[in-house]
Amino acid sequence: MTNSPSQLFNSIYTHGFVRSVVCVPYLRVADPVYNTDRTLDLARQASEMHAAVVLFPELGISAYTNDDLFHQDALLSTVEAQVDRLIQASQQLAPLIVVGAPVRLEQKLFNCAIVIFRGEILGLIPKSYLPNYREFYEKRQFSAARTALANEVDFLDQRVPFGNDLLFEASAIKGFVLHAEICEDVWTPIPPSTYAALAGATVLLNLSASNITVGKADYRRSLCESQSGKCVAAYLYSAAGAGESTTDLAWDGHAMIYENGARLAESARFAADEQIIVADLDLDKLVQDRMRLTSFGDSVGDHAAKLRTLRRIRFDYEAPSGEILLMRRVDRFPYVPANSAARNERLEEVYNIQVHALMKRMTAAGFEKLVIGVSGGLDSTQALIVAARTMDQLGLPRKNVLAYTMPGFATSSRTLENAHNLMDALGVSAHEIDIRPSSRQMLRDIEHPYAKTEEREAYENASDLYDVTFENVQAGERTSHLFRLANYNRAFVLGTGDLSELALGWATYGVGDHMSHYNVNASVPKTLIQYLIAWVIETNQFGDDEARTDAILQSILDTEISPELVPSSDDDDGEPSQSTEEKIGPYELQDFNLYYITRFGFRPSKVAFLALHAWRDKSVGEWPDLLSLKKRNEYDLATIKKWLELFLFRFFKISQFKRSAVPNSPKVGSGGSLSPRGDWRAPSDSEATAWLEELRANVPD
């Protein structure tokens, strides 16, 4: 049956994900029949979950703790028979199955990973490094991979690739390349998986036994985290659990799945029951990061001779059909850590970066004063806080911050009051300049209809009167005043525009709010600015007048985001007359789009898929109640597609020329900046066609 467009869109396999499963079965020592029963049962569960790969522990068919029983023919023959049973049963199972077993070859015994797919052994991987210290005596029973003579062997009536140099590549899933190593291998200075990753493996597997001692679990986590991060790969780890012999050791059944340094899943340790953990691996993200990281490519070149010797075994894995929803957390706010402790640490660091960058610019320029426009909105609030803290760090009076609020034709009483209250609370030099007279003069000079009072009533459509010229005249007048004030006071202009506005081109170019002498917000997205201001409230950063300052900041957070350039035809209720988000979309969605488009270069359809998942799952990413911010509605696919289409058009088609001429500003986060001198270099006259067509073709209406 042919999948519908909706089913295709709602399958993880359409968007570069593969489902991975790691199992920790309950075992019996020296009982291969029982152990294979448990392995098969868990493999069937993984298959029903639409997994592409399922991993089991080291020597899981025999159990790890057999000691000298490994040299008994009865045990080894039973292991072979049960592996054969597993191979036959795998014909009815979807995933690639990787199990551990002792294997007799070349008159030696090898501790092997056996890679099985649809009734066939794809390869046998012997353990490279046999621990023979403290509680380990593996060299007593096993031979290391380096002692093998052949690279192909006959095993269970099959001719099978043999060695620790095998990569398993799915023919129909781009980037799905696997490698397996065994326990101690990853504890060495250069694990075999390092070379495998450099040769193209994106999914690294570790079949482990790994008894537990105090503190060992943390070290395992650090190994898996580090190896996945250094190799820019997924790392799946499965350690032996309940059922192994406790004659001298104990076992905790530790299973983990990491992706490029991030932990996606982890088992409950010391569980009485069998464990199965699952995570959807983002192969697109891994491939994209490797492509961008020039040092990764250089490492490939440094080891090219060895990497060419690694062997690739292709297998015909077909992605399951139908709707397969993502089993993975996707945060709604990728620029803001979901964990509260990590979030607080991140927010404090953002402030430190901004403050120390501004300190350097002031001292290098020889200025002790700066000029800033304060609108009563989010961005200027954040910049003003940074300016005040910078003066504190430099040992200068806050009065050296020359702050100006400049009401125009549509400035609301609420934002004007917030601006004055904030300037007063922070103790900066507060001023007000009404820009309406100079704006009217400019409008008269260019013969704009707004300046002709007697003709205004002839314009029935307000958009003809309050056009982009009307708006930009006000923005230009504000910036013009600020620059001249900076000249007059031997100061420099501190910019306030943020990363989200740069992405969408939501700034008046050149002589407008696009320009300043230095900008501390240019790599900080709008959603992060909201959290930064909320963090100031939560952590009582201005304790001298804590209650009053917090109330002002909360009022600013609660105010509608607005350019305040077009007056309302209704009676003034004190609130902004325009809504920015009605024009360019919700910032939480547009920041989400910005992150995945620029940080990873994802296809628009994948970004839409991730956004749908993030806003469909009510358990993740809500704005914390402590911020007292407005709760957002859930977004359906049609809404996500609408605003993503607008983002793509504005970002790729019409806004790059503004980003190519941005003032200096510090890069704040790993999510990147849009500076042409840093993270983002692009032509100003490119087309958005490829992105728009991909979105329209692959995201159902």
Residue in 699, 701, 647, 658 with CA at minimum distance from that of residue 680: 658
Spatial contact of 268 and 254, defined as CB atoms under 8 Å apart: no
- Local structure of residue 333 (DSSP, 8 states): -
Q: Any bridge partners for residue 263, and if so which? A: 258
Q: Where are the alpha helices (DSSP H) in 322-447?
A: 340-365, 378-394, 413-426, 436-445
Torsion sign (Cα): 480, 482, 486, 488: positive
Among the options 23, 58, 564, 667, which is catalytic?
A: 58
Identify whether 581 is a catalytic site residue: no
Identify whether 183 is a catalytic site residue: yes
- How many CB atoms within 10 Å of residue 141? 16
Torsion sign (Cα): 220, 221, 224, 229: negative
Side chain identity at 218, as an amino acid letter? D
Residue in 381, 329, 331 with CA at minimum distance from that of residue 529: 381
Identify whether 127 is a catalytic site residue: yes
Among the options 183, 259, 606, 645, which is catalytic?
A: 183
CA distance 654 to 682: 12
Q: Please state the φ and ψ torsions of residue 152, each to the nearest 5 degrees.
A: -140, 140
- Local structure of residue 161 (DSSP, 8 states): E
Concatenate the DSSP letters of all residues of 10-43 into one string: TBGGGGTEEEEEEEE----TT-HHHHHHHHHHHH
Among the options 127, 606, 641, 667, which is catalytic?
A: 127
Concatenate the DSSP letters of all residues of 417-480 into one string: HHHHHHHHHHT-EEEE---HHHHHHHHHHTT-GGG-GGGGGG--SHHHHS-HHHHHHHHHHHHH
- Local structure of residue 544 (DSSP, 8 states): G
Concatenate the DSSP letters of all residues of 169-238 into one string: EESSSTT-EEEEEEGGGGGSSS-HHHHHHHTT--EEEEE------TTHHHHHHHHHHHHHHHTTSEEEEE
Decide: residue 618, CB within 10 A, 0-12 exposed, 13-18 middle, 19+ buried.
Answer: exposed
Contacts of 675 (CB under 8 A, 6+ apart): 522, 523, 659, 662, 665, 667
Distances (CA, A) of 604 to 172, 289, 585, 614: 22, 17, 16, 15
Distances (CA, A) of 92 to 22, 155, 169, 276: 19, 21, 20, 20
Give the catalytic positions in this structure.
58, 127, 183
